[in-house]
Structure 1
Amino acid sequence: MPSSAPAGKRPYAPRMAAAQRREQLLDAALEIINTQGVAAVSVDGVAKMCGVTRPVVYGQFTDSDHILRDLLHREGEHALAQIADVLPTDLADADPVDTFTQVARGFFEAVIISPERWRSILLPVDGVPPAVRKYKQRGDTAVRERIAEIIRWFLRDRPDVGSIDVDLLAHLLLTAMQEGGRLVLDDPDAYPPDRLTAMARFMVKSFFGG
């Protein structure tokens, strides 16, 4: 007697609470980025990775840009939590060279601890869709402004402070750290945190004259 179940019918994915399903879909997008690249993130790709239908994905996200934006927001929040404890809470008696060395080391070690997370955060801006590019640029701006605030604090008593382009310096420091993070991800044996931290200290010490 033939089976009453239609041949080849796709099995239903296990039911999940909405919040749990959303995390599952974002985890799938993160895995796709790390194995296939950001261009492979799509509603179809995420659905297949999770073994669900497209409507399940559309129940949480409007399109692939929405998936990427929410993924970057989630991973960005986790990333900030990773390095929050290396940032000084009080700059009053802090040494600028030691402070930026500590931040650099904490950043590079965070990349080593969570490479999948940081690979999504450190994607080249030109390699992501326009909507996601704007989101990443806003995030970079916020971090750059915080770095500039710290620099201004350490330079406040220098007689030549008015001639120093603090915003540009903050931009260069952030760019150097991000490129160092990419080197860690691409070749951790050749670019371990100790090597990159030593270079960061040399650069900061050269500027602050410590």
Structure 2
Amino acid sequence: MSAIAEPPRKRQPRMEIEVRRVQVLDAALRLVTRDGYSAATMEAIAREAQLAKPRVYAAYPGRGPLLLALLEREQQRTIDALAEAMPAFTDDADFDTVLVAAATNMLRTVAERPGSALLLIAAADDAPPEVREYAANAREFARANLRALIEWGRERRPGLAELNPDLLAASLLAVGEQLMRMVATESDRYPLDTLTEFVAIAVEQLAGPSLRATS
């Protein structure tokens, strides 16, 4: 009696391509954060990922879509991490508490994922057009959220009413990006605890006493 042959196993190319995409994006992240967008060519990414160039093209059709996918992935990872610990803008919330918590959570996220942070604040001048547009929109989104926080806090911090909300939002964004760089690249010189303490004191001095303190 002859043995019954087993049916051939089905291949799972989808799982294979997803794993390859992770490898490719991780390699691109290392290149961009180390040497800038201009260094992240398809050939360089293939070498960094130790993959043949056709395999990189099989994962992503070109440099623009690849770098855009990378930026979207790292931004979503950061947003997800912040959303878990971000306090809500409720009537009972305190402006100082919300702003300090937002800044502290951001810096902690940067400490955990410095590569993601460096990518998000990296200059995209030498990136493909779709990446530059996405980066500009992401920065505008961050600025708009800061402005919304400022508008929400004006009733709680009388001193904020004397400051132009657009200029204040842009200033806070610039300071925040600098603090992110310090956490990601100079953690020995500027430990996380030192920076978060600085944020708490700076916010307290930002716009004078809160209504709660004066009531």
Name the structure 2 match of 1:29. Answer: 28
Is this contact kept in 2: 1:30–1:71, CA < 8 A? yes
Is this contact kept in 1: 2:160–2:207, CA < 8 A? no
Name the structure 1 match of 2:55. Answer: 56
Q: Which consecutive residues of structure 1, in runs of 5 or more, have no partner in the other structure?
A: 1-13
Measure the CA separation in 2 of the matches of 1:119 and 1:157. 33
Runs of 4+ in 1 over 6 A off after TM superposition: 157-162
Q: Alpha-carbon deviation of 1:35?
A: 4.1
Is this contact kept in 2: 1:97–1:208, CA < 8 A? no
Between 182-191 and 86-95, the greater mean CA deviation after superposition: 86-95
Name the structure 1 match of 2:167. Answer: 168
Measure the CA separation in 2 of the matches of 1:133 and 1:15. 30
Name the structure 2 match of 1:88. Answer: 87
Task: Tell me the secondary structure at the aligned position of residue 59 of structure 2.
Answer: coil
Would you say 1:192 and 2:209 are equivalent positions? no
Measure the CA separation in 1 of the matches of 2:32 and 2:121. 11
Is this contact kept in 2: 1:108–1:180, CA < 8 A? yes
Is this contact kept in 1: 2:37–2:124, CA < 8 A? no
Q: Alpha-carbon deviation of 1:50?
A: 2.7
Say what the alpha-carbon RMSD is for the aligned residues: 2.5
Is this contact kept in 2: 1:96–1:208, CA < 8 A? no
Residue type at the aligned position of 1:61: Y
Q: Which consecutive residues of structure 2, in runs of 5 or more, have no partner in the other structure?
A: 1-12, 210-215
Residue type at the aligned position of 1:112: A
Task: Tell me the secondary structure at the aligned position of residue 18 of structure 1.
Answer: helix
Is this contact kept in 2: 1:88–1:99, CA < 8 A? yes
Is this contact kept in 2: 1:112–1:185, CA < 8 A? yes
Between 153-162 and 50-59, the greater mean CA deviation after superposition: 153-162
TM-score, normalization by structure 2? 0.80
Is this contact kept in 1: 2:95–2:157, CA < 8 A? no
Measure the CA separation in 1 of the matches of 2:97 and 2:14. 51
Q: Alpha-carbon deviation of 1:72?
A: 0.9
Measure the CA separation in 1 of the matches of 2:15 and 2:83. 32
Aligned 1:1-210 pairs, distance under 5 A: 17-126=16-125, 128-156=127-155, 164-210=163-209
Is this contact kept in 2: 1:32–1:41, CA < 8 A? yes
Residue type at the aligned position of 2:47: K
Query: Residues 126 and 182 (structure 1 numbering): CA distance in 2 closer, same or farther, change over 3 Å?
Result: farther
Using the aligned pairs only, state the percent identity: 29
